[in-house]
Structure 1
């Protein structure tokens, strides 16, 4: 691991278990947890190959798999991956640091049509590794593939820095919204959902 992700350094030891239980309870209560997956599903062809980067306990990747896509989910936290495997069989769930992502070494050499980075993942990577995360995810996209990334703007990762890091990773800014249900982005927005595309 390149450095300690904020997911570990900023939380208590029992945070992962709390997070898993939180989403299990929300699902049991009938909460709508599929917003990110609906957006990505609308942007790809049927049977697309999709990377769920920072997949957590698997809610987004599982929904995409249920919609007929081939999903590989990756997270740095083994506890979250174990929960994804238990709750959502079907996709392939892997433990890996996004800043050092090399899926070919883990038996997944084929490029992806799309990737999704949801759940404020960019705010939980190790400090200073944000450019590497974007570069490593971009490297796993096929030419003309895209990544959709959402995070809160109060999470300590300035949007101007994110945009600069995306350009350095060779990704082209295509769209930006204020929510996963495509509400227009404005200066007063507290959340950003950005679509970035790898050039042909």
Structure 2
């Protein structure tokens, strides 16, 4: 999430929790890349989130993979026939996405400073997917800003699908309040990416949000 247009790295930018984690352990990004490469090589399902997004949109949709990591979701969606832009704060993860999943536009950038039109990329996406607990890795002070940026990059009838687990210092109720403040309203709440209904004791949230 730190590059011109996708999100600048100007003075005063608040580092994300992911950047703090990598600063403490410089090998973390490479471990993360190799973890998913190994899972894919073993035949494990690493694209369940992408299948849900694919089912929600028409063929050839424009999709933003927000916090795309090494590209497992955006890569699948590109191969399924969609136009994909992926943004992540970590240049190591973006480099892996470019290597393993050529085709989408992969950008290093800060979701808290997301401005794709500033980089010549149309803002209106039919879907934004934010998986992999990304919302718990952004700086807490930027959460509403990140969500507001999602709303600004959605087509009028577009939907943002955000998933993260409990116990990560971001209560589900607080997230939904932040989303509403940012101009996003819940259309559907699930407890898994395979469409199990959400309940008050759920350990995971998948929120399908639309513009207010």
Under TM normalisation by the shorter chain, which class is it?
A: over 0.9
Alpha-carbon distance between aligned partners in 2 of 1:146 and 1:174, rounded to the nearest angstrom: 9
Equivalence for 2:4: none
Correspondence for 1:188: 201
User: 34, 37, 47: which one pairs with 1:21?
Assistant: 34
SS in 2 for 1:160: helix
1:141-152 alignment runs, 5 A limit: 141-152=154-165
The answer to whether the Cα contact below 8 Å between 2:123 and 2:152 also exists between their aligned partners in 1 is: no
**Unmatched tracts of structure 2, length 5 or more:** 1-8
Q: CA RMSD in A?
A: 1.0
- The residue number in structure 1 matching 2:62 is 49
User: Paired residues, what number?
Assistant: 199
State the shift of 1:137 in Å. Answer: 1.2
CA distance in 2, matches of 1:83, 1:125: 21
The structure 1 segments of at least 4 consecutive aligned residues displaced by more than 6 Å after TM superposition are: none
Q: Which residue of 1 aligns with 2:117?
A: 104
Q: After superposition, what is the alpha-carbon deviation per residue over 1:61-107, rounded to whole angstroms, capped at 9, x for unaligned?
A: 00111111100000011110000001100000001100010001222
Question: CA offsets per residue over residues 131-187 of structure 1, 9 Å max, x none?
Answer: 010001110011111100000011111111111111011111100111000011112
Matching residue within 14, 25, 29 for 1:3: 14
The alpha carbon displacement at 1:127 in A equals 2.4
The TM-score, its normalising length taken from structure 2, stands at 0.91
From 123, 132, 140, the equivalent of 1:119 is 132
Q: Distance in 2 between matches of 1:155 and 1:107?
A: 35
TM-score (norm 1): 0.97
Tell me the residue number matched to 1:133: 146
